[in-house]
Structure formats: structure tokens, C-alpha cells
Structure 1
Amino acid sequence: MNISRKVVYFNMNKNFLWKIHNWLGLYTGIVILFLSITGAAALFRPEIDLLLNPNLRQVETSPEKASLTAAVDKVLPMHPDKYLFEVEMPKAYLDTWIIRLMPKEKSALNPMIWEVFINPHTGKILGERNYFNTFSYFLRNIHVRFYEAYFGRQIVGLAGIALFLSTLTGLFIYGKFMKKQPFGKIRSGKLRITQADLHKFIGISTLAFNLMIGITGAWLGLQAYLMYGLNIPQPNSFSRNDKVFTEIEDMNYSLDFDAIYQKSQIEFPNMIPWFIRPTTNGEGIVQVLGNVPGQAYERRSNKLVFDKQSQDLLFKYNISEQNVGAKLYFVQESFHFGDFAGISLKIVYFLLALSSGFLSLSGFIIYLERTRKSKSSLGKTIPLKSQITRWTIGILGTIVTIGILSMNFGLGIPALLVGIAFYGFFIVIIIKKLLSKFKGSSLINPKI
């Protein structure tokens, strides 16, 4: 009796897991497929930007060294309607200084981060651009936010939860199947059987990767709400309680960038400075954020904070000296994007990301094949090839269209159009479902 109850209980749990796995795959699979494609491309943003803009990012090596302070002092008067946001220092795939400026008057439809590229050996201006009009930004934004300005990041975070649950339920469901069938064996014959074997094999093979991407994607997407709700401060944050300047004085303060850079190398010799970021809110400080080679943490986790006037060190944050919680916080982004071990790891991430997309596609094919007979009896069937072709054209067409809009109009207008289309699509679907239910109830309960 006890054994039979256990069997019934196991079958009930298995059926429940099947429902969850199928529901997640059916309703979020297309989103996960979209994110897999865009995520695989976004891995190579620096490399792609270098390929498209070698004149901005590449210079000939030279023993000469220009003054960063002089370069900033030359650029700022050329843009009186903007203020200095940060300076990005040379690194892999970037030989130049990037001086980033922000507009003093913000525009919702035309947001801007203005980039000025400087040859660090000669001080020559190589070119300028609005970062929001670049292909690099398009790749980032379409993956991180779906190019939707308000809740896109949170929707991506929910997709991360869906990927995690789908992977976990898949493990529980298919784990028992793999005991009955040699691992990696792909049966030929019916399309559904072949796709099911591939689905199981790739799903189990990429289990750890998909669980990690799901967890980190959920955290990064929902981070703002989770940190607020759980009262989690950013581990390397620093702020002054007292303002030493007015905002205008702080914004216009003439900073010696060369001296700050040299002091950062003295105070934290293992850190390679990546960004120098002065305040504009009256605190009168300058932050130097950087990377320690060989670490797997987020590239900007290590930090030094100096006083603008005295150049005294006010704060030092070395991630290697922090507790487990802080280290866990700063591996989320680096683990998600795989940018801590060079191009070889990025290629591995690229292949694994595409495999995640294949799981969504193969799951969809399995579902269509399983329901084909019942739908064909109702006259609702559409050839599999036609359906996959439509979805492929739809996904790639959407990506290309948003890319063209982004590179021509920047962030504001494309994000507005995507938001209208995105939420409009769901409103239409909901209305159609409600009308379908209303018509169905009218047929069941006709008026007398």
C-alpha cells in the first residue's frame, strides 16, 4: 500500500513538473530564444566596435605620452552644453582615451552620452559620437532591456527566473529518462523523437551553464528591486555626508587627471585603472574604478576615491579582501557575460548561449509535433517548416529593425516605438483571449 502511494505521489509530482516545464517552454521559450541570440552577439561588443570603428579605438604604439589633463581641458570648452561624466582608460580592444560627456539639459526623446576619442600618445582628437547611436549600445540594450525603457530590464529578469525553473524541472523530468538510455544517443526516425533526444542531451550537457545564466540574469534584471526590498547596499559605494562645493563648482572644478592616475597606481599598484569619474553633486571627490588581472569579478568592482582638492585617498575597495557576500555580488555580471578570461571563454559562452536557444526551439518543435494530430483534426494545423520560418523571420526582422532605428535615431524614439509595440502586442492578445472566452460562454449559455 505504501509503495503504491509512493508511485501515485511520484506520478503526480512528475505530471506537475511536466506542466510547469511545458508551460514555461511554451510561453517564455520565444523570449529565451530571443535573449540567447542577442546575448551571444552581445558577448563580442568590444571586438565588434573595434572592427566597425578602428579609427576611434586603435592607434600606433609610441613611447610618447600626452597629458590626460590637457586633453580634458581641450575637449570641455568645445562642448559648453555638456559636463564631464568620466574618462575611460586604454585596455584590451581599446588603445585610446574616451572622454564621456553628458548634456546639461536632458532630453527624454534624445538622450545622450557624448564620446570623444583621444590618442593618448599625441593628444589628438580622433573622432566623436553619441554612444546611444552605436551598434555596441544597440547590442547591449536589446539584450539587457529588449530596448524597452521602463520595465524591459525587469522583464528580462523574469525571463531569467523562467530559464532557471525550466532547466531545473527539465533535470527532474529527464534525469530518469537518461538512466534508461545511453547518454548522448540520438535516435533517428520520427522528428519528434530525434528532437526529444537532442533536447535531453543538450539540456543535460548545458545544465550548469543554464542554471548559472538563469540565476545571474534574474539577479541583474531584478537587482534594483531586490536590493531595495532586501535593503542591500552596493558593497563598494562611498559618499560624503557634507558637500564641499556647490554643484556648479564641483562640475567646473579643474582636476589634475594625470596626478590622480599616478596616485591610483601608488595606492593600488595591482589595479589597472579603467575609469576616472569625478563627482558633479558637490561632494568634491573623484573615483578611480579598475580591474585586477586574473580576477573573475566585475571589471569595476575595485575602487579608489580621492579628494579633488587635496588628492588625499578617502576610500579604498579591494574586492579580494572583502567577505563572501561582496564577492558573490561582484561575480554576477562577470559570470553572466563571461568577460573575465579573454576571447576563448567568450567563444565557449557563445556556443552555450546558442545551445540555450536551441533548447527553446527544439522544445517548440516537440510541442508542435505532439499536438499536430489533434490540431489537424480541427483544421488548425500549419506546416512545421512554415511556422519556424515565420518565427525566424519575425525574430531576426525585429532585431534588424530595432538596430536600424537605434543607429539612426539613438535611444529615445526607438525605445518609445518598441514600448508601444511591446505592450500593444500583449494588450491585443489579452483582448482576443477575453473575446474568445466571452463568445464561448455565449454559446454554452445562450439567451432564452
Structure 2
Amino acid sequence: MDTKLLWRIHNWLGLYTGVVIAFLCITGAAALFRPEIDRALNPHLTKVEKQSKTVSLTEAVNKALAANPDKNLFEVELPKAYVDTWNIRLKPKEAQDLYPMFWEVYINPYTGEILGQRNYFESFSYYLRNIHVRFYEAEYGRQIVGLAGIALLISTLTGFLIYGKFMKTHAFGEIRKKNTRITQGDIHKMIGVATLVFNFVIAVTGAWLGLQAYLMQAADMELPNSYIRHEKPLSKADDTVFPLDYDLIMNRIQEEFPEMQPWNIRPTTNGEALIHIYGNVKGQTYERRTNKLVLDKADYRQLHRYNISEQDFGDKLFFVQESFHFGDFAGLPLKLLYCFLALCSAYLSLSGFIIYLERTKKQKASNPQPISTTLTKWSLGMLSFLVVTAILSMHYGIGIPSLIVTSLVYGSLLIFIIKSLGIMLLRKLKPSKSLRS
């Protein structure tokens, strides 16, 4: 392939998507530790002294509902390695567009005491997820992240093809000190090679996760572990308030799927009269809550059992994407490695930007702005965006901050397009030197 074409593609992608990729790398490095950060920030909700016997889960659910008569049950989240408590998750009976609510009631499993309540959308944990997964942009943020994944993939492949031959003759880790451009160029190549596999995995899985809804729709594809009851035994209203024995459900899980550690019990509210139980099986490297058990609400009989280990390659490939993207299958050591590599990838984008500025500074004004000043402005702008969005998120949830960010994103894009079109028009209208002479 033409090296000049590869270089143009690599250079263009780095220039126009490098900041986005760096932002995603930094926010992704933080989002890796969402459970640990949430536990550290909210020990009163997530930590209790463990005892030998728990109280009735059914009574705990009823207690949470009685304390919140304006809400309906969404799911019960059960204890796991980083959460000791029961989390009874509720949704309001009447939703508000600008103030959406996903209510969480934390209960001590051993005493039945309500430890505290919160709107999950106002938690720092949700902020970390939303800022990485969709830039806090409500409409098409997730799809923009998916496109950034494609850009990272192309940038990774073109960079390998461009610099692969160079690295054969250049000792790995050798950094020349001739000038800033060459020094940053060597760092750029070294990090690019060191993070090649990581960036490839992150790019492919990130593109899939961001564009998953569109890709699945185009392929007429359903979730591999889905189970749909086409007949509706109940009305939506009756299904929503159908009384359940959660202690019996826990016993049925042990009988029907003993190897699964249940994470979520989610009753239907659409009339199907089903109980969906999601969980993990020890030793698997798949997305959380991939394994599934479906029970009938009427008699708690098993209707569907899905163990990912028993499925074909296509299903396994589908459910490995998110776990590989977040390194969520081998504990804290792998998360720390992912964090380090993500920060290296962020600097990969930064060093490419520095190289571009060094290479083009002679083409600019006689007194170009120092690179350090440019980088400081971009860094402060990114930091300010993160801080302001975090403050708004912690106070107002997702609705108002998303509206503000969405307006800024599309407003800035519109200004950029108008400005670019204006410059192009002026260039066309400006007479050439030959005509003036």
C-alpha cells in the first residue's frame, strides 16, 4: 500500500480525533475502578459486618417499597466482592424528563436495616461511566464513542504499517535527543508498538459497544441470552406489582443453576410474568450478568437457563467484548495493567499532537504560540469540562447536565462548520495574484 496515503490517513485521524481518543483513554482509566471508588466513597452503603445468617430478602424488598410508595421495583442487586449489602433498585411511577431517577435502597442483609438511599444517576460511579461511555452527551454520545473506536483502530493499523519497518532498524526504547520533534517521534513509535495489541483490542471492542445497537439492528440480531414470552398472562399493571417470594427464588436458583452466583433478580413489568436472574460463574471471562435463569412468576418453574460456557463461538464472542474492553475478568492486577496502558495510549495521542505542532510551526505566524501553552489550554479545558460536568451530575443527575453538554457539543459543531464554510467561501471569492497583476 502507498506509504504516503497511509501517512495522510494516520496524520488526519491523529489531528482530528486524537483529543477525543486521549479523552476516552483518560476517562476509561478512571472508569475501570468504578466499583472500588464507589465502595470507598460510600462505605455506609456498601460495607457491613458479615454474620452467619441473613434476614428475609422478601421482607427487605417489601420494606424498601413501603418506604418509597411513589416507586416500583426494578431489580434486586445481590452482594458481591465489593458490595456487602442488598441493593433494592426502584424506578419512579411517574418519570421526569429533566430529572430522571434510578433509586437505590441499600439494606443490611443481616439486620434488615435500611442503610441509606440515593438516586444512582447522582452518584460519582454513574458519572464515571457516563462520561466515558457517551461523553455525557444524551443523544448520540455512545455512537460518537463507537466512531472514535473505529478511528483508533484505523490509526493503530496505519501506524503499524508506517512504522513497522522503521522499528526493525531502530532499537526498541531508544530515544534520540536531537530536538523535540524527533524525541517525541521516537516516544510515539515506542508507545505505539508497546500498546499495539491493547489498542487493537480496545478499538475493536469500543467500536462494537458504541455502535452495537445499530449493528445488531442491521444484522437483525437479538441478545443471545434473551428470552421472550410472546403471550402476556398479566396486564402491565398487575405484572408490576405481582407479589414474589424472593427467598424461594434464591432457593430455586440453587436448585436450577447452582454454579451461578446471582447478581440481579429482575421481575418483568410488561405482562410476561417472568423473573430474570442474571449472574456470574466462577472462572469465566465474559461480560457480567451473561449467565441467566428465567422463572415463571406463577409457580417459579424454570423456563430458560443460559450458561455461556455451554454456548457456541458466536455467543461467546458476543459476550467477551465488554469484559475485554474493561479488563473485567481477572481482578485488580489486570485493571491496574489496563489503567497503565490506557494512560500510555492517551500520551500516544498527545505526542502525535506535539509532533504535528512542531512540524507545522514554521508554516504559522512569525511568533507562534509555544506548544506548552497550547497543551496547557487543552488540558485545562478538558479538566474544566470534567470538573463542571461532575459537579452538575452530582447535584442534578443526568437530565440537566446532558442537556447542557448536548447543546454545547452540537452548538460547537455548528459554529465549526459555519466557520469552515465561511473560510472556504472567502478563499474562492478572493482574487488570485495573477488576476490582480
TM-score class normalised by the smaller sequence: over 0.9
Q: Map 1:186-225 to 2 at 5 A.
A: 186-225=175-214
Deviations 1:316-339 (A, max 9, x none): 000000000000000000000111
SS of residue paired to 2:99: coil
SS of residue paired to 2:430: helix
Deviation at 1:436, TM superposition (A): 1.1
Out of 200, 223, 226, the position equivalent to 1:234 is 223
Out of 353, 359, 368, the position equivalent to 1:364 is 353
Q: Does 1:122 align with 2:111?
A: yes
Deviation at 1:445, TM superposition (A): 6.9
Q: Distance in 2 between matches of 1:34 and 1:66?
A: 45
Deviation at 1:261, TM superposition (A): 1.1
Q: Distance in 2 between matches of 1:362 and 1:213?
A: 19
Letter in 2 for 1:417: I
Out of 168, 182, 185, the position equivalent to 1:179 is 168
Deviations 1:269-296 (A, max 9, x none): 1110000000011111101100011111
SS of residue paired to 1:116: strand
Deviations 1:354-408 (A, max 9, x none): 011011000000000111112144x5x2101100100110111111110000001
Q: Distance in 2 between matches of 1:90 and 1:211?
A: 34
Out of 427, 431, 434, the position equivalent to 1:440 is 427
Q: Does 1:14 align with 2:3?
A: yes
Q: Distance in 2 between matches of 1:157 and 1:15?
A: 27
Letter in 2 for 1:428: I
Q: Distance in 1 between matches of 2:50 and 2:95?
A: 38
Gaps (5+ residues) in structure 2?
none
Deviation at 1:61, TM superposition (A): 1.1
Q: Distance in 1 between matches of 2:345 and 2:254?
A: 42
Deviation at 1:435, TM superposition (A): 1.2
Q: Distance in 2 between matches of 1:240 and 1:309?
A: 14
Out of 41, 46, 51, the position equivalent to 1:52 is 41
- Corresponding residue for residue 410 of structure 2: 423
Q: Distance in 2 between matches of 1:63 and 1:321?
A: 34
Q: Distance in 2 between matches of 1:417 and 1:436?
A: 28
> What is the aligned-residue RMSD (CA, Å)?
1.3
Deviation at 1:258, TM superposition (A): 0.8
- Corresponding residue for residue 32 of structure 2: 43
SS of residue paired to 1:331: helix
SS of residue paired to 2:299: coil
Q: Distance in 1 between matches of 2:307 and 2:429?
A: 67
User: What number of residue pairs does the alignment pair up?
Assistant: 435
Deviations 1:28-51 (A, max 9, x none): 000001101100000000000011
Q: Does 1:391 align with 2:413?
A: no
- Corresponding residue for residue 3 of structure 1: none
Letter in 2 for 1:314: L
Out of 395, 401, 421, the position equivalent to 1:408 is 395
Q: Distance in 2 between matches of 1:390 and 1:191?
A: 19
Gaps (5+ residues) in structure 1?
1-9
Q: Distance in 2 between matches of 1:67 and 1:337?
A: 35
- Identity over aligned pairs, percent: 59
The answer (yes or no) to whether the contact 1:305–1:313 under 8 Å persists in 2 is yes
Q: Map 1:55-134 to 2 at 5 A.
A: 55-134=44-123
- Corresponding residue for residue 255 of structure 1: 244
Q: Distance in 1 between matches of 2:80 and 2:66?
A: 27
Q: Distance in 1 between matches of 2:431 and 2:169?
A: 46
Q: Distance in 2 between matches of 1:186 and 1:281?
A: 62
Q: Does 1:354 align with 2:343?
A: yes
Deviation at 1:187, TM superposition (A): 1.2
SS of residue paired to 2:263: strand
The answer (yes or no) to whether the contact 1:64–1:122 under 8 Å persists in 2 is no
Deviation at 1:108, TM superposition (A): 1.1
TM-score by length of 1: 0.95
- Corresponding residue for residue 373 of structure 1: 362
Q: Distance in 2 between matches of 1:207 and 1:437?
A: 38
Q: Map 1:208-357 to 2 at 5 A.
A: 208-357=197-346
Deviating beyond 6 angstroms after TM superposition, the runs of 4 or more aligned structure 1 residues are 445-448
- Corresponding residue for residue 5 of structure 1: none
Deviation at 1:73, TM superposition (A): 1.0
